[in-house]
Amino acid sequence: MTSKLKKIAAATALSLAVAAPAAAMEDEVNMLTGSIFNMLSSRDMDTASMVNLTLGEINTISAIVHSGDSEAEKESKIGAILRRASER
């Protein structure tokens, strides 16, 4: 019986160890996506295609926003990503 309880405890500990980082990563993705949504909204850009963005595209948009490009260049690059996403 003690061996069985040890196995259950070990399995529970392993499942919690895997679930915690996954939940933390999901929170980070949600915060980044929300930040991008707010930025697009403040620039009066279409947010409808955000549902089609990949994580890579969200990261690319974040990098563009924080780049040294001019506002026109940023909007052009982000607009191109959003157009590609809306075609999916």
Domain boundaries, the chain: 27-86
pLDDT above 80: residue 59: yes
Q: What percent of the chain has pLDDT over 90?
A: 33
Per-residue pLDDT reduced to its tens digit, 16-32: 566 566 677 788 888 88
Cβ count near 58 (within 10 Å): 19
Q: What percent of the chain has pLDDT over 70?
A: 75
| Amino acid at site 12 | T
Q: Burial letters for 22-52: b for 16+ Cβ neighbours within 10 Å, e otherwise?
A: eeeeeeeeeeebeebeebbeeeeeeeebbee
What pTM does this model have? Answer: 0.67
The DSSP output letter for 19 is H
